[in-house]
């Protein structure tokens, strides 16, 4: 076992040797863009952008319309430009733009495509990934089995797995009544997932959800994880593209105000962790918002196979308009929509906006932890 008391071991995925076993989790909409991802990559970790609504965000920045393929190509290229390893998170739930985002990322030479919020069963078949590592996000050994069996038929094996437990930010891969189960704690999910990963040839497992300090990282590496993925710790950094209002909400939030929204909740139907005071969540529980679907990233197919249905449009008393709420939180707000702030359970521990370097120095054990 390497000495992890002062520094961490490297992580190798698909022949890419990453100095630190720290993946900055993709944060959509528009929180983890190229400034955050390249800063993490430069510090020896893996920087991950989020594909969610990237066409609008990049179009606004460039002052000309780009599509999802072009947006993914552009942002991945920028994230990689300063060196280090960088990739993209592409959610299965974003069905309409999924394939175009994958192709743009592969053509730009993304080091990693990390894909969850649904099972990415068809990912290897979209286009030959060449040097890009394909990494599904799972929350159980069963999901590992299903994905590996399906990918075997496509002649591909996952290059790594992200195992995300119930303390994460964003959408959660658990039913509401399973979130607090002892068996679903990340440390208890890890052994069966590692067994499944070993059965399919020793796939590295990266753990996510509630990891916050250097000591947390060391603990999970000692349990057998190959690396960690962290989101919330990077949410209110200088390089994060969250709006100032969002970063301030993270700094101020109290532990009891980090809640899980389900009804009203995300139109994706998965539990979604939010700050209770988020303006769009407050409007949703008070049933103040009129149905509207002007962005359409989470549209589902109708009977004719067209992406036209959104639960938030059909029954907005049960769902909030996640595209507009999250876009507003990333400073994209031509329609003056209210913001929606998603965070992980540890957001109440963030009390200052810091540069990525300061956080990476702490996480790597290069300097003493201040948290
Ligand atoms: C603001 C925010 C946005 C997120 N967006 C996404 C996303 O678009 N896709 C995804 O797969 N995971 C998303 N996540 C999950 C993170 O990538 C990460 O796995 C998780 O937050 C890890 O838990 P932690 O926040 O406790 O470190 C998001 C998390 C946060 C905090």
User: Does 181 share its domain with 261?
Assistant: no
CA of 29 to the centre of ligand 1 (A): 10
Write down the mean pLDDT value for the chain. 95
The whole-angstrom separation of Cα 150 and Cα 138 is 14
Task: Mention every residue, 6+ apart, whose C-beta is less than 8 A from residue 124.
Answer: 134, 151, 154, 155, 156
| CATH number of residue 116's parent domain | 3.20.20.70
Q: Which of 125, 133, 189, 195 is nearest to 163 (CA)?
A: 189
User: Does 192 share its domain with 73?
Assistant: yes
Q: What confidence tens digit (pLDDT) does each residue in 243-287 have?
A: 999 999 999 999 999 999 999 999 999 999 999 999 999 999 998
pLDDT attached to residue 209: 98
Mutating to test ligand 1, I would choose from 214, 227, 231 the residue with most ligand atoms within 8 A of its C-beta, which is 231
CA of 91 to the centre of ligand 1 (A): 11
Buried b (16+ CB within 10 A) or exposed e, 293-310: bebebbbbeeeeeeeebb
Q: What confidence tens digit (pLDDT) does each residue in 136-184 have?
A: 999 999 999 999 999 999 999 999 999 999 999 999 999 999 999 999 9
Note down the domain range covering 109: 11-242+347-364
User: Does 32 share its domain with 96?
Assistant: yes
Mutating to test ligand 1, I would choose from 22, 23, 24, 27 the residue with most ligand atoms within 8 A of its C-beta, which is 27
- pTM of the full structure: 0.96
CA of 344 to the centre of ligand 1 (A): 7
User: Does 35 share its domain with 149?
Assistant: yes
Task: Answer whether residue 301 is part of any domain.
Answer: yes
Task: Answer whether residue 51 is part of any domain.
Answer: yes
User: Does 300 share its domain with 203?
Assistant: no
Task: Answer whether residue 3 is part of any domain.
Answer: no
Number of domains the chain is built from: 2
Q: Which of 141, 169, 170 is nearest to 298 (CA)?
A: 170
CA of 27 to the centre of ligand 1 (A): 5
User: Does 224 share its domain with 308?
Assistant: no
Of the pLDDT bands very low, low, confident and very high (cuts 50, 70, 90), residue 131 is very high
Task: Answer whether residue 309 is part of any domain.
Answer: yes
User: Does 160 share its domain with 277?
Assistant: no
Contact present, 189 and 140 (Cβ < 8 Å): yes
User: Does 238 share its domain with 340?
Assistant: no
Q: Which of 51, 151, 64 is nearest to 104 (CA)?
A: 51
Task: Answer whether residue 371 is part of any domain.
Answer: no
User: Does 57 share its domain with 172?
Assistant: yes
Handedness of CA 68, 74, 75, 77 (dihedral sign): positive
Q: Could you tell me what percentage of the chain is helix, strand and coil, using 3-state DSSP and rounding each to the nearest 5?
A: 35, 15, 45
- What Å distances lie between residue 224 and 15, 186, 198, 202, CA to CA? 20, 12, 11, 11
């Amino acid at each position: 076992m390497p000495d992890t008391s002062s520094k961490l071991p490297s992580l190798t995925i698909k022949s890419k040797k990453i100095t630190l076993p720290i993946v900055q989790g993709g944060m959509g909409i528009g929180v983890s863009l190229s400034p955050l991802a390249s800063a993490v990559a430069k510090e020896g970790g893996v920087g991950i952008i989020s594909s969610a609504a990237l066409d609008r965000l990049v179009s606004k920045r460039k002052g000309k319309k780009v599509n999802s393929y072009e947006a993914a190509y552009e942002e991945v290229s920028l994230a990689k430009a300063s060196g280090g390893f960088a990739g993209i998170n592409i959610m299965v739930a974003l069905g309409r733009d999924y394939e175009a985002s994958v192709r743009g990322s592969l053509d730009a030479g993304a080091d990693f495509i990390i894909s969850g919020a649904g099972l990415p069963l068809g990912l290897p078949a979209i286009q030959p990934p060449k040097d890009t590592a394909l990494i599904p996000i799972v929350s159980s050994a069963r999901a590992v089995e299903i994905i590996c069996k399906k990918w075997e038929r496509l002649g591909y094996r996952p290059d790594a797995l992200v195992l995300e437990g119930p303390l994460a930010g964003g959408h959660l891969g658990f039913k509401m009544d399973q979130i607090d189960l002892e068996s679903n704690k990340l440390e208890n999910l890890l052994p069966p997932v590692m067994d499944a990963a070993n059965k399919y040839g020793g796939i590295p497992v990266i753990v996510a959800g509630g990891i916050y300090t250097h000591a947390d990282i060391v603990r999970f590496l000692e349990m057998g994880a190959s690396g960690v993925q962290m989101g919330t710790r990077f949410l209110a950094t200088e390089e994060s593209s969250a709006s100032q209002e969002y970063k301030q909400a993270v700094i101020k939030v109290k532990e009891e105000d980090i809640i899980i929204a389900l009804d009203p909740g995300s139109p994706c139907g998965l539990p979604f962790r939010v700050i209770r005071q988020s303006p769009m969540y407050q409007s949703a529980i008070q049933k103040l918002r009129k149905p509207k679907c002007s962005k359409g990233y989470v549209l589902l197919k109708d009977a004719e196979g067209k992406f036209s249905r959104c639960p938030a449009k059909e029954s907005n008393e049960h769902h909030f308009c996640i595209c507009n709420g999250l876009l507003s939180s990333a400073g994209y707000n031509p329609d003056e929509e209210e913001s929606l702030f998603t965070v992980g359970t540890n957001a109440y521990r963030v009390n200052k906006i810091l540069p990525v370097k300061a956080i990476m120095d702490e996480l790597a054990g290069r300097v003493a932890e201040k948290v």
